[in-house]
C-alpha cells in the first residue's frame, strides 16, 4: 500500500462520479486511504482535489469557498435533472434569445442570494439523498441555501440555438444546474446545463490539474505532481519549528512562540501551519485572542 501523503489535483472526466473516479485511482496506485474535497456532478468534468492518506485529516481546513465554472446552458428547454442527462419535461419552441435582456438579467444574479438546490442532487433529507427519494417516487422539497455569485462573464452566444456559454465565479454550495433553471425562469422560459467544467476549486485550478490520459499512462504515483500537505494549506501563515522542539509538538504540550524560528510573524489570532526544515506539515495550531495556542491537528 502506498503511504505517501498529499493532495492530487485531478481533472475528473465527465461520465463518472467523484467517488467512482477516486476509487479507480485508489485501486490503480494501491493507496491506503483516500478522500476528495468538493464533489462534482457525474455529467461534469473538472477540478477534483484528492486527499491522500494523512491529508484526509485536512478536509475541514481545505479552503473551497470560491469556485469557478464554465457552463454551457441551453435556454427554452427543461429536464428533470436540470442538465442534459435528464428527461425533457418542458420545451419552449417559441423562445428567442434577446442578448440585451440576457445581459441585464445576468447582472441581477450577482451577489448573495437564496438558491433552492435541484431535487436530483446529493442533498440529504433525513439521511437519504434527495435524488434517491425522487427515484422512489416520493415528493421532495428542499430548503434554499444561502449562496453568493461573485461574477458572471458571457464567453459565447449561439442565438439560433439559444445556447450561451458563461464563466461563473461563485461560493461553495452553489448549484450551476439550479442557476440555469432560475435563469430560464427569469427570462420567461426554461434553462438546462448541457456542458459543465469546473476550472477552479479553492486554490486548485484546472491548468495545473492531472488529466485522465496522464493517470492511465503512469504506473507509479510518485511520477504525478503531489501537492504537499503544507502547500495545500498555503493560505494559512507558516511557522518554522526549531527542530529540538519536535517532541513538544508530537506530545501535544504547551507551545511558546519562541519555539519557532520566525516567531515575529505571529501577529494576530487565527490558524497557523507548523512545518519542519523540509516544509513537512507537523501541525495545525490556532492562536486565540488571549495569545494561547490550541492544537487542531498533529501529524507525526
Residue 194: name the closest of 87, 97, 73, 89 by CA: 73
Exposed, middle or buried, 214 (CB in 10 Å: 0-12/13-18/19+)? Answer: middle
**Which uninterrupted H or E stretch holds 300?**
none
Q: What is d(CA 285, CA 272) in angstroms, rounded to the nearest whole number?
A: 5
Structure-block grid coordinates of residue 112: 448573495
Q: What angle do the packed helices 99-107 and 176-186 form, to 10 degrees? A: 120
Q: What is d(CA 277, CA 244) in angstroms, rounded to the nearest whole number?
A: 11
User: Has 41 been annotated as catalytic?
Assistant: yes
Q: Which of 41, 213, 231, 276 is labelled catalytic?
A: 41
Q: What is d(CA 283, CA 36) in angstroms, rounded to the nearest whole number?
A: 21
CA distances from 88 to 8, 39, 81 (A): 37, 25, 9
Q: What is d(CA 162, CA 217) in angstroms, rounded to the nearest whole number?
A: 40
Residues carrying an active site annotation: 41
Amino acid at each position: 500500500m502506498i503511504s505517501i501523503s498529499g493532495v492530487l489535483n485531478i481533472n475528473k472526466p465527465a461520465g463518472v462520479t467523484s467517488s467512482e473516479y477516486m476509487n479507480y485511482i485508489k485501486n490503480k496506485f494501491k493507496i491506503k486511504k483516500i478522500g476528495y474535497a468538493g464533489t462534482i456532478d457525474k455529467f461534469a468534468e473538472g477540478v477534483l482535489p484528492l486527499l491522500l492518506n494523512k491529508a484526509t485529516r485536512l478536509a475541514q481546513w481545505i479552503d473551497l469557498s470560491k469556485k469557478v465554472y464554465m457552463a454551457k446552458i441551453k435556454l427554452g428547454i427543461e429536464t428533470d435533472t436540470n442538465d442534459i442527462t435528464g428527461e425533457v419535461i418542458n420545451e419552449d419552441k417559441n423562445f428567442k434569445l434577446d442578448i440585451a435582456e440576457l445581459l441585464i438579467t445576468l447582472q441581477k444574479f450577482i451577489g448573495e442570494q437564496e438558491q433552492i438546490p435541484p431535487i436530483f442532487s446529493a442533498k440529504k433529507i433525513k439521511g437519504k439523498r434527495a435524488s434517491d427519494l425522487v427515484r422512489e417516487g416520493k415528493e421532495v422539497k428542499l430548503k434554499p441555501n444561502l449562496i453568493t455569485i461573485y461574477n458572471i462573464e458571457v464567453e459565447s452566444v449561439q442565438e439560433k440555438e439559444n445556447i450561451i456559454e458563461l464563466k461563473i465565479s461563485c461560493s461553495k454550495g452553489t448549484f450551476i444546474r439550479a442557476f440555469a433553471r432560475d435563469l430560464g425562469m427569469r427570462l420567461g422560459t426554461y434553462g438546462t446545463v448541457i456542458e459543465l467544467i469546473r476550472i477552479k476549486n479553492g486554490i486548485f485550478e484546472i491548468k495545473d490539474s492531472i488529466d485522465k490520459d496522464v493517470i492511465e499512462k503512469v504506473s507509479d504515483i510518485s511520477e504525478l505532481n503531489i501537492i504537499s500537505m503544507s502547500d495545500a494549506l498555503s493560505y494559512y501563515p507558516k511557522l518554522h519549528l526549531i527542530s529540538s522542539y519536535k517532541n513538544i509538538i508530537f506530545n501535544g504540550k504547551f507551545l511558546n512562540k519562541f519555539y519557532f524560528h520566525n516567531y515575529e510573524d505571529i501577529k494576530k489570532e487565527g490558524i497557523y501551519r507548523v512545518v519542519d526544515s523540509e516544509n513537512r506539515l507537523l501541525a495545525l495550531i490556532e492562536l486565540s485572542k488571549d495569545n494561547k495556542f490550541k492544537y487542531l491537528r498533529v501529524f507525526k
